[in-house]
Amino acid sequence: MSAMVLACLPACASHLVTGNGFGFAVVSPETDTVSKFYAHPYSFGQPDPQNPLSEGVETANFIKSLSWSDGASSNASAEYEEESHVVHARSSAGDGFYFMPFGFERAALVISREPRVAKAGRVGFDVVWARPVRSLRVVRLFDTEMQLVSFEGIKESLLLIPLGLSCHAPAQPQTVLSTCREWALVSVESESELEPAAREFIRWRAGLTHPRWLGGRLRSLNAGASSRLSTSKAKKSAVFGGKVRPCFASRKAVSPTVRDDITTV
């Protein structure tokens, strides 16, 4: 797995990679920026019919650049938290955390930010998508307004799940992540996966606190990551202790409702 991930990246020793066996993401410590988020853990997804002798069609990448929008940020650095796969980024603007969750059997990237000082005006995550956005829609699941971003040229879409309270994202693709400090970006391949993906993430998140406070239990999680991905008992053990913030008021299975009035092409 590590060899496949490293083979995909430019020759730069400073890149930090986080993955969960279903996808991976890349963080640049020098800029406190997520520069890649791949929907699968391999470089090429299928043969290229236009060029049979090539390595194939590159795996879908969602992100060109994702960073905190505070223009005054400086002195950026990043390292793995507690020798885990959680990337802890630091800058003058605050602390950021990026990781792909073990025990959740989908490609998903969790992002979180702790600003040092609350500032007036629009401060949040800015994203430059790696592909043109075909549509941006609100999907209401489990009493939470989530966002569904679809892209040109790939079948994979991103279900954006806010992990904070009272998050209402604007109908603009580049600023959709700006209104919350914590998100889960979950890769889905069809509309039928929306409800299962949301339900599975809520179940995975049950008992979690803020990603920074996972503490020493990250070591035991990573030590047994492979077994946790293969057994249901291990899945349960992947849930960390702690209080649950009431981001999801209900766990009842409900049919997704999609609001089309903010579709952006």
DSSP calls for 21-53: SS-EEEEETTTTEEEEEESSSSSEEE--TT-TT
145 - beta bridge partners?
140
Structural element, H or E, at residue 223: helix 217-223
Higher model confidence: residue 3 or residue 156? Answer: 156
Range of 177-181, 199-203, 245-249 with top mean pLDDT:
199-203
Domain limits, the chain: 2-47+56-245
d(CA 98, CA 17) in angstroms, rounded, equals 10
d(CA 100, CA 191) in angstroms, rounded, equals 22
Helix (H, G, I), strand (E, B) or coil at 207: coil
d(CA 123, CA 156) in angstroms, rounded, equals 28
- CATH (residue range 2-47+56-245): 2.70.98
Q: Using 50, 70 and 90 to split pLDDT, how confident is the model at 139? A: very high
Structural element, H or E, at residue 234: helix 232-237
Q: Using 50, 70 and 90 to split pLDDT, how confident is the model at 221? A: very low
Q: Using 50, 70 and 90 to split pLDDT, how confident is the model at 38? A: very high
